[in-house]
Amino acid sequence: MEMPDYKLARKRSKDKVEIRDFKIDKDLLELGLNKKFFLKTYGCQMNEHDSENLRGMLHLMNFSETLDMEDADFILLNTCSIRENAHNKAFGLLGRIKHLKESKKDIVVALCGCMAQEEGVVEEIKKKYKFVNFVFGTHNIDKLPKLLANSFKTSKLDIEVKSCEGDIVENIPVTRENKFKAYVNIIYGCDKFCTYCIVPYTRGKQRSRKREDIIHEVEELVKDGYQEVTLLGQNVNAYGKDLYDDYDLSNLLVDVAKTNIPRIRFITSHPWDFTDNLVEVIKHHDNIVNFVHLPVQSGSTRILKLMGRRYTKESYLELFKKLRSIPGISITTDIIVGFPGETVEDFKETLDLVNECKFDSAFTFIYSPRENTPAAKLVDNTTLEEKEERLYKLNELINKYSKESNDKMLDNVYTVLVEGTSTKEGNLFGYTETNKLVNFPGKIDLIGKIVPVKITSAKSFSLDGEIVE
Ligand code: 5AD
Ligand code: SF4
């Protein structure tokens, strides 16, 4: 049994990161014959991609997937810790599984993902959710086959959560959700330690994948007909810093662009590591999309300092303007309201910043205290009611600018990667380079292709259009 440990999770040692290859015992390959798994994923794209690897391993062991939890022999929850409501949802589902297990004793239940890296969560599972068979963390998802095989033999709770460092495991099998768009990890973990954020504790220290492994993965995706890759990391702009002296995200993007994959995205960017070189690389490569997600979190320099974000309102705006100079670029952001000590004046500065930047869209959140993070110890006098009011006001403004940005697209032609049929008969849906959802009439043989579409109507969250012949 290896329990999560916050003291270890906080450590950033200089030890070399171990890179190893996925391995599986031959005798586990038939473990899943005639068995079904149910997988529930919470949280961000990193978790979604981890679930693609979890699926890949389960399929390799010959399990088949079911979307009906009651029909499963194995239930796996890939969890998220970022805010309290993600916690509550996972515990809510565990409650339902508890009932299910009363009538179906043989089901194996496991929990992984960020919640597994939290001391408090694992303690709670040991006390209140004893029916869980095993727990494993974000650093060792490749242990799934072994842990699962053991749990079919014994009903004793098995906990295997590494807190320190984190390795890089290459060549884990993958079952991708989408046939045309693929996630590719480029960096794991985060060393920024923003004071509100639990990610540096649950995902470990910053570890870049080797450039040749990333490029090889993208080359293989091109051969398989993929049209788009999203390079993933909690802070992609730190790519390479832990591995190379003179090779960073801008160099990697140039090399990935040479694979000729039609579209390259990258998320998420921290403004601190965003270099001028990177702005130039986006500007001068057609297959690096004109889209940047640049979380600002707050428009008040005082609050940004308390958040440990390492930039001011002014320096954010300076970078923002450089990016806006790229023709056709779309910029989105994340904003937290109600950070401890945020005054009406601080909040007004956030609204001012939104008025100045006119983001194409934004994810907005009420601050959620996370156990063991520095911000959780700060005095917070703002009532929930006040925070909800601020969120409401902010969302109204964000939606106004989203609609404005969509309105500007009217009558213009954009390339759309067609992903499937939409609910309206005869219609297809897809996304522009700037990640806007477009619905338009078309034949299904266009699915998987990039086609020019003229925008005929704009709403706040989607667009309608028609194909240009
Ligand atoms: N409370 C609210 N929002 C948070 N985020 C991260 N941690 C918290 C928290 N404790 C938001 C940030 C981040 C996004 C992924 O989630 O805005 O950019
Ligand atoms: Fe969390 Fe900050 Fe790292 Fe983003 S950059 S994952 S907000 S600590």
Same domain, 378 and 421: no
Helices 313-324, 344-357: axis angle to 10 degrees equals 10
Same domain membership, residue 349 and residue 222:
yes
| 79 shares its domain with 187 | no
C-alpha distances in Å from residue 51, one per residue of 11, 33, 69, 141, 263: 27, 20, 16, 10, 23
Does residue 179 carry a pLDDT above 70? Answer: yes
Q: Looking at the structure, tell me whether residues 183 and 327 fall in a common domain.
A: yes
Say what percent of the chain tops pLDDT 70: 100
Say whether pLDDT at 274 is over 70: yes
Share of the chain above pLDDT 90, in %: 88
Quick one: pLDDT band at residue 444, thresholds 50, 70, 90?
very high
Average pLDDT for the chain = 95
Terminal-to-terminal C-alpha distance of the chain: 62
* 458 within domain boundaries: yes
Cα–Cα distance for residue pair 248/192, rounded to 1 Å: 17
Check if 238 has its Cβ closer than 6 Å to any atom of ligand 2. Answer: no
User: From the CA of 199, how far away is ligand 2's center (Å)?
Assistant: 6
CA of 308, nearest ligand number: 2
Q: Does 12 score more than 90 pLDDT? A: no
Domain assignment of residue 417, given as a range: 413-467
| Among 108, 127, 160, residue at a domain's last position | 160
Same domain, 350 and 335: yes
* C-alpha of residue 308 to centroid of ligand 1, in Å: 13
Tell whether 181 is covered by a domain.
yes
Report pLDDT for 165: 66
Task: For residues 344 and 392, state if they share a domain.
Answer: yes
The answer to the question of residue 166 being in a domain is: no
Q: According to the model, what pLDDT value does residue 464 have?
A: 97
pLDDT per residue as tens digits for the range 385-440: 999 999 999 999 999 999 999 999 999 999 999 999 998 888 999 999 999 999 99
Domain assignment present for residue 1? The answer is: no
Ligand 2 lined by 270 (C-beta under 6 Å): yes
* pLDDT tens track for 48-107: 999 999 999 999 999 999 999 999 999 999 999 999 999 999 999 999 999 999 999 899
Q: 235 CB less than 6 Å from ligand 2?
A: yes
Q: Is the CB of 200 under 6 A from ligand 2?
A: yes
Closest CA to ligand 2's atom 2: 194
Distance 409 CA to ligand 2 centre (A): 32
Atom number of ligand 1 nearest to Cα 197: 7
Convert the pLDDT of each residue in 313-325 to its tens digit: 999 999 999 999 9
Indicate whether 230 pLDDT > 90.
Answer: yes
Is residue 215 one of the residues assigned to a domain? yes
Q: Please indicate whether residue 359, judged by its CB atom, sits closer than 6 Å to ligand 1.
A: no
DSSP characters over 137-206: -SS-GGGHHHHHHHHHH--S-EEE---SS--EEE------S-SSEEEEE-EES-----TT--HHHHS-S-
Closest ligand 2 atom to 308 CA: 2
Pocket test for ligand 1, best of 83, 190, 371 (most atoms within 8 A of CB): 83
Q: How big is the chain by its Cα radius of gyration, in Å? A: 23
Ligand 1: centre distance to CA 366 (Å): 8
Q: Do 417 and 388 belong to one domain? A: no
Q: How many domains would you assign to the chain? A: 3
Q: Are residues 400 and 287 in the same domain?
A: yes
Can you give the pLDDT at residue 14?
A: 74
pLDDT attached to residue 100: 95
Same domain, 286 and 334: yes
Q: How far is the CA of 42 from the centre of ligand 1 (A)?
A: 15
Instruction: Answer whether residue 139 shows pLDDT above 80.
Output: yes
Ligand 1, residues 114, 118, 336: which to mutate, most atoms within 8 A of Cβ? 336
pLDDT at 291 (0 to 100): 97
Expressed in angstroms and rounded, the spacing between residue 82 Cα and the centre of ligand 1 is 6
Q: Tell me which amino acid residue 461 is.
A: F
The pLDDT tens digits of the residues spanning 185-219 come to 999 999 999 999 999 999 999 999 999 999 999 99
Same domain, 342 and 423: no
Q: What is the atom index within ligand 2 of the atom nearest the CA of 191?
A: 3
